[in-house]
Structure 1
Amino acid sequence: MTKNRAVLALSMVLLTGWSANAITFGQMPMVTRQERILGDRIGSSYGILEGGARVKATVTQVKPVEQVVIVLDGSGSMVPIYARIVEELRKALPSQTAVPTAIARFSAQKTFLQDFTTSRAALDEALVREQRLWSSGGSGDATMKTTTDLYGVLAGLKDISQSKMTHFIIITDGNDSLNDRVDLSRLVGENMVVSYLNWGYRSFSARVDEANAVVITGSGSRKMDVPNVTLRFIVRKTGGDMVNYTDWKTFGSYIKRRLSQAGAVYQATWESANPEIPFSLSAK
């Protein structure tokens, strides 16, 4: 009997310890998570999916997108793919943009190829001029085929968004020539949302079949599995989209969608056990 009691007592201790650990594990500390995110529809009733599961969240509209700027990286590393990007942009242009849209090119500084317009013809003509310019060797200015000052350009573009919610769609391979510390307060404004379209393949010495993303001749091509970290942070801070594309269908679909449905910026607040879990908007 004494032996049985001892076994029972030990079992109770083990069970009590396991239960306490289970309770402790179940009570992981929660943090209040606040995120900005771009939604397709203005004024819609949205919820939040965190890790694919719906969570209890408060989602409020901050402001509709009022204008869009397509920002093209014209630096040296983009030379093998730039002409194709311009051509695919032309194909993806909708008949009418949802809000005034501009096109800019940047490298060491920025230059506007087309000021804000809702005319597809005007946007297309600007891209046609760009195709001609690149096929003839370029303008020789500091916005073409030189080093990249991505963050300097963002700081300069911030002024455009002083009074209107502006969606900057940056098309780049993600590399920046500057090694200086990035001052995010200079780059990020309340009325700006930055999306990052990263070309998933790069090549310096190779000729590449961009449609299939494979090397035809030469070497140096590689897949960019991890896009620019700082730019990804800016995207998350402002509520934009991150698209690491390796095919033109994905690229074209995104451009057509974002120019046809400018959408709105939303603010979501909820309790989370892990603020790094991927999240998304979901229509209720």
Structure 2
Amino acid sequence: MSAIKNLMTKFDVKISIAIVGLVNSGKTEFVKRILQSDESIGASVSNTTEFELQTLDNFSLLTWDLGEHIPQKKALWKRSILGANALLFFIDSTNRDSFQQNKKLIKDLVELNFPIRILVLGSKSDLPNSASVGELMTGLDLMELDKTKCDVDLYKFSSKTGEGLYAIEEWLNRILFKRRERVINYNKIAACITLCEESGEINEAVLTDTPNLTLLATLRELRRKVTIFSRTMRVHGSGEEVIEIANFKIPIVKEHRHIVAIVVGPHDSVPRAMEISRNVLKIIAPYCDKSINLVKIIRDLYPLDVTY
């Protein structure tokens, strides 16, 4: 189960998220990624606008393909957008020719529907011609909108590599449940695995003095998962994913040709574990073909996160 899907379904409240944007802006890929399903319940609204509903328990995703104008007069639009708990606007970050149209749609969306907050998502961040956050902010005039109309947040993400999905989870966690992930709390790092794609070498570090059978079995399975992740992400310069094995959360992060997987407890902060992974990557990158003391690196960098 994806982290966003898990977040939405673990609370005993009804949650609806409105997802809007032009055709081919990355909405469908995002929905499939977080629901991990190709199944959907779709309803055609008109020849130019399509509404799609996907539900799971108390969690609903409402997706609209936009045309040249906001379908403000449609009753279904009003019910789905005005009644949603969160509003996400998707933009293909590689299609700069669409920025002007998207700028107008976002402005109209805000002026017609008066949302308190909107999250703008630049998709396809894994592609080399993807616009930067600065380009998106300028091209869509989001700074002015944020100052005068409503709170606007902007993230880039990739449904292929998983990059940015956990920043989106944090945003939803904060907006929907009025709470922040405890990112300043220390994690309980049980183990770490690194892989250098150039040499194929896998390093393993156990951070607890008394590893149990569950942890050892988890590490055996994790070696296999990291190898699969490496093959899947080989064409991408970066990527991230969070998996669960036994009773452990395991963020897997790739930068360039290096991969780090950190094994933490079930209630630990995923964003913090990813931050740790990225910092470990920076240190080990120059030593891909050399022996490193992974245990010492992690204990020296994050002594309070190694509490076993």
Q: Please state which band the TM-score falls in when normalised by the shorter chain.
A: 0.3 to 0.5
- Rg larger for: 1
Which has the bigger relative contact order, CA under 8 A and spacing at least 6? 1
State the TM-score, normalized to the length of structure 1. Answer: 0.35
Greater fraction strand: 1
State the TM-score, normalized to the length of structure 2. Answer: 0.33
Greater fraction helix: 2
